[in-house]
Amino acid sequence: MQIPIFTVDAFTNRPFSGNPAAVCLLENDLDEDLHQKIATEMNLSETAFIRKLHPGDDFSKKNTNSVLTFVTLSGELKARQVGDHIVLDLPLYKTSPQVLQEVEELIKAAVGNLIVQDLRYSPDTKKLLVRLSDTYERSVLEKLQVRAQDFLSAEKTGKVKGLILTLKGNSPGNHSGHDFYSRYFAPWVGVLEDPVTGSAHAVLSSYWSEHLGKKEMLAFQCSRRGGELKISLRSDGRVDIAGKIAIVLKGNLTF
């Protein structure tokens, strides 16, 4: 059997940056065990399997009006193409103030002596949002040396499954137009640092929209690979998160 497969870097238009994912095009269903084996072979946690809903569907035809629905552990994820961007349709998650004393050891492990301007928690996603002082430049976030493995012993509450570090954009000398920056860590689920994270921006979008008074924003995730996200809050309580892609590999799986 041969299955067409692609490696795609998302939230970027440059190879070897953004968030890498494998995409398999399936003519027929595969069992779950084979899905797992293919994902292991590709060594990418983001491995998507796209199957035709109707026998007459043609993968080779471009249809920018079509919507792809992915079944994930977090529920259905819908994606569509708009121009040169892929748009993810995600729920918008609110945050509430977090008491510093409950997570003080975790914050210390993450940012050391850096000044924390705000601290929020998203109960729906179990993500802790840590906003650094507006006095810091983007480079402070990028150069921050983080040992995410230390978070496991530092987090005593048992309620945090993801840590977002974020910083307001548009600092002096910033010509990129980014409204905010972030980095994301989730060693509790096996991800020391994620290159670019759509789900984290479903939390960040809500937070920064409230604080900046904006529904349309441009964000940048400052991981080693880096990625840019266009954000648009909708009136139905959801958020569109868009990014460009770079296809870096095309081939066939043979087995």
pLDDT tens-place string over residues 209-219: 999 999 999 99
Per-residue pLDDT at 86: 96
Give a yes or no: residue 86 inside a domain: no
- Co-location of 44 and 133 in the same domain: no
Measure Cα distances from 173 to 141, 180, 192, 218 in Å.
Answer: 16, 14, 31, 17
Does residue 142 share a domain with residue 180?
A: yes
Give the total number of structural domains in the chain.
Answer: 2
Q: Tell me, yes or no, whether 168 and 131 share the same domain.
A: yes
Q: Which amino acid appears at position 145 of this protein?
A: Q
Q: How far apart are CA 254 and CA 62, in angstroms?
A: 25
Which pLDDT band holds residue 68 (cuts at 50, 70, 90)?
Answer: confident
List the alpha helices (DSSP H) in 114-244. 138-143, 151-154, 198-212
| Residue at 28 is within a domain | yes
How far is 141 from 132, CA to CA, in rounded Å?
9
* One domain, residues 102 and 219: yes
Is the pLDDT at 53 greater than 80? The verdict is: no
Residues 105, 221, single domain; the answer is yes
192: confidence class by pLDDT, cuts 50, 70, 90: very high
Query: What is the three-class DSSP state of 170?
Result: coil
For residues 7 and 119, membership in a common domain is answered with no
In a domain, 80, yes or no: no
CB atoms within 10 A of CB 117: 15
My answer on whether 197 and 112 are in the same domain is: yes
Does 134 reside within a domain? yes
pLDDT value of residue 243: 97
**Does residue 26 contact residue 3 with C-beta atoms inside 8 Å?**
yes
Check whether 55 has a pLDDT greater than 70: no
User: Are residues 56 and 115 both part of a single domain?
Assistant: no
Q: Based on the fold, state whether residues 135 and 237 are members of the same structural domain.
A: yes
Sorting pLDDT into bands at 50, 70 and 90, what band is 66? confident
In the predicted structure, residue 62 carries a pLDDT above the cut 70: no
Pairwise CA distance, residues 217 & 170, whole Å: 11
SS3 150: helix
Please classify residue 39 by burial: count the beta carbons closer than 10 Å to its beta carbon, then call 0-12 exposed, 13-18 middle and 19+ buried: middle
User: Same domain, yes or no, for 48 and 63?
Assistant: yes
The domain containing residue 58 runs over which residues? Answer: 2-73+244-254
pTM of the model: 0.91
Does 225 lie in the same domain as 195? yes
pLDDT band at 15 (very low <50, low <70, confident <90, very high): very high
**pLDDT value at position 173?**
53
List, for residues 97-128, the tens digit of each pLDDT value: 999 999 999 999 999 999 999 999 999 999 99
Q: Which CATH number characterizes residue 249's domain?
A: 3.10.310.10
Is 83 a member of any domain? no
Mean pLDDT (the chain) is 92
- Show which residues are catalytic: 46
Whether 69 and 135 map to the same domain: the answer is: no
Asked if the structure places residue 140 within a domain, the reply is: yes
| Residue 165 pLDDT | 98
Q: What percent of the chain has pLDDT over 70?
A: 92
90: in domain: no
Q: Residue 77: its pLDDT value, please?
A: 85
Region 191-200: mean pLDDT is: 96
- 78 within some domain: no
Q: What does the pLDDT look like over 138-185, one tens digit per residue?
A: 999 999 999 999 999 999 889 999 999 999 997 555 556 999 999 999
